[in-house]
Structure 1
Amino acid sequence: MQQHRDGRRDGTSRAVRLEAFGGPEALVLRDVPEPQAGEGQIRVRVTAAGLNPMDWVMTADAGTAARFGLSLPAGFGTDYAGVVDQVGTGASGYATGDRVFGAALSRAVADHVVVDADGDIATGVAHHTPDGVDDRTAATLSIAGSTAAAALDVLGLGPDDTVLIGAAGGGVGVFAVQMARIAGARVIGTGSPSSAEHLRGLGAEPVAYGEGLAERVRALGVGPVTAALDLHGTDTVRVARELGVPDGRICTIAGQVDGVPAANGADAAPGTLDHIARLVAEGRLRVPVAAVYPVEDIRAAVELQAARHVRGKVVIDLLPRP
């Protein structure tokens, strides 16, 4: 059996695994049997995987993992991009060599993922990557993009709106700010003082989070705030209410407040990700990639992402080995 320069043998594939639930220290890079596309499936040679907070949250302990249908040994990561290298019998719409991006729940950080040609996040899903969108960028779109879109659909923003977005510079925030601006809304984005230029670059008017936020928003002189999106917890909800925003025009993604709608990526309308990818290809939406790590440095990448101070997205490179 032929052995590759990196020590792998033919018939094996690298994958980040958890053999015990926990933090970044539990992540290991293993050689596993190379998966094969079955009936109605495609196999993707992954070139890049984007990280999201949900990746490490849902694998932190057995109870949380069970709510997502995960058991040990488990994979890691959900967003991916790459090239179709195997098409199973009955799988239509894809051909070998097609560039794709998508989501494969807790198994994306691997050399190969197998997804249903007509699937969802649980079975894995793929979308064609438009020309003009590189794989690193495509690997950031699925979870954050669909979550931002679903939340903004709740708010129904238009040119007459001023929206307050909490944690505007994070992974979901970079999409939410720009998509709100595309809808014509004025955006006030909360973040640390050091993130002000980053937020301005996205199209938001920056304001420091923390005690006194409502007063700082009023001091901007932007007029009434008509909608709010809380991307971190519930602090922005409290401030939005203080500013007179009705509960029906507030949305959360990471916390729950009685009377306030919540949204997640599963709520996104059909065609959302294809639309977002086209916006990127047209140059109307950009995704700041804060850091890129080789898969061998997965623990360091997750530690950075889990610290919640990243301005943009963290991406894992999974380049083909000779």
Structure 2
Amino acid sequence: MPHGDFDGETMQAMTYDRFGGTEVLAATRQPRPKVGPGEVLVRVRGAAVNPVDWKIMAGGLKDLMDTVFPVVPGWDVAGVVEATGIDVPEFSRGDEVIAYARKDYVHGGTFAEYVTVPVRCLARRPSAFSWEQAAGLPLAGLTAYQTLTRLGTREGETVLIHNAAGGVGSLGVQIARSLGARVIGTASPANHDRLRALGAEPVSYGEGLVERVRGLAPNGVEVVADFVGGVLDTTSAVLAEGGRHASIADDTVTRAGGQWMWVRPDGNDLGALADLADAGKLTVRVAETFPLTRLADAFELSQAGHVHGKVVVTP
């Protein structure tokens, strides 16, 4: 049975009414969203910034997804169920949840006081995580998890992760380790100690990378997860016979027998990540938090590309 009727009420939200840079963002009042069948209304406690958020705002996906202005950006959320729609027996008001809340078109996102989320996207918040950590898990965690599981990563295999110190890569290291794999991770030397702490064997970028990987895995690696792009030659040179590879950043991998990955909202997969977090096998590093009205600053920090960890906005 639905809980609550919010017709006519409004909420604070960050929105944009045209494509552009951070100058198009504005703090506005928007109607609190209706809670449709198979949806829940979430009171946002944290919403993480991902590069896709500001790329969409610049028009980067306008040929792929329909856009309805004004847009509330944001796809990652952690919060509390405020109301449930028809046919949602799984959740109740007051439940603490997380979601990769991507919908079928660009409009009602997570950088607001409230967001509606399809129940298929939802999972319980890991109790081991703060609200900020929980908000930073869904998109990056699912990207890493789905890449590694679709590649069939198994215990005893060796996995090479490109950009292992990045937001997706650092989660990928931990997930691959939880699957029983040995992990080799590319990163700048400044991040090698951090990768070792996560359970990876670090190797530096640049000339000689193939030789460095081959030095650690003379027979090649069974799995390669590319989380940066532009590394297909290296992947091909270190992949063992019969090995599998995928990229989230280079669609040309399909010409070399690889998989081109696009993360899918999936509450079951997200629940598996929450279980890893509660088992102490997965952590999320939060770099900085911003209040909702400083979303432009949060986007600009993400755009600068030097942040180590998730940037999280808290209404």
**Shorter-chain-normalised TM-score: which range?**
0.7 to 0.9
Q: Quick one: which of 100, 108, 117 aligns to 2:110? A: 108
Answer 1 or 2: which has greater strand percent: 2
1:230 is aligned to 2:226: yes
Query: Does the C-alpha gap of structure 1 residues 69 and 248 become closer, same or farther in structure 2, counting only changes over 3 Å?
Result: farther
Q: Which amino acid letter does the alignment assign opposite residue 123 of structure 2?
A: H
Q: Which amino acid letter does the alignment assign opposite residue 229 of structure 2?
A: G
- Cα displacement (A) at 1:231: 0.4
Q: Quick one: which of 17, 20, 40 aligns to 2:18? A: 20
Query: Does the C-alpha gap of structure 1 residues 199 and 137 become closer, same or farther in structure 2, counting only changes over 3 Å?
Result: same
Q: Which amino acid letter does the alignment assign opposite residue 279 of structure 2?
A: E
* Structure 2 residue matching 1:199: 3-state secondary structure: helix
* Structure 2 residue matching 1:168: 3-state secondary structure: coil
* Structure 2 residue matching 1:179: 3-state secondary structure: helix
In structure 1, the residue matched to 2:248 is 253
Q: Quick one: which of 54, 57, 64 aligns to 1:56? A: 54
Equivalences for residues 1-322 of structure 1 within 5 A: 11-61=9-59, 64-105=61-102, 107-116=109-118, 118-119=119-120, 125-219=121-215, 221-226=216-221, 227-235=223-231, 237-246=232-241, 248-257=243-252, 258=255, 259-266=257-264, 271-318=268-315
Query: Does the C-alpha gap of structure 1 residues 160 and 223 become closer, same or farther in structure 2, counting only changes over 3 Å?
Result: farther
Whole-Å separation in 2 of the counterparts to 1:88 and 1:294: 29
Q: Which amino acid letter does the alignment assign opposite residue 286 of structure 1?
A: T
* Structure 2 residue matching 1:73: 3-state secondary structure: strand
Q: Which runs of 4+ in 1 moved over 6 A?
A: none
Deviations 1:208-247 (A, max 9, x none): 222332133234x343331211101131x21121224458
Deviations 1:67-118 (A, max 9, x none): 12223221211010111112234432221111111122350111000123x3
Whole-Å separation in 1 of the counterparts to 2:186 and 2:23: 31
Normalization by structure 1: what TM-score?
0.85
Contact 2:101 2:117 in 1 (8 A): yes
- Cα displacement (A) at 1:20: 1.7
Contact 2:123 2:268 in 1 (8 A): no
Query: Does the C-alpha gap of structure 1 residues 66 and 74 become closer, same or farther in structure 2, counting only changes over 3 Å?
Result: farther
Normalization by structure 2: what TM-score?
0.87
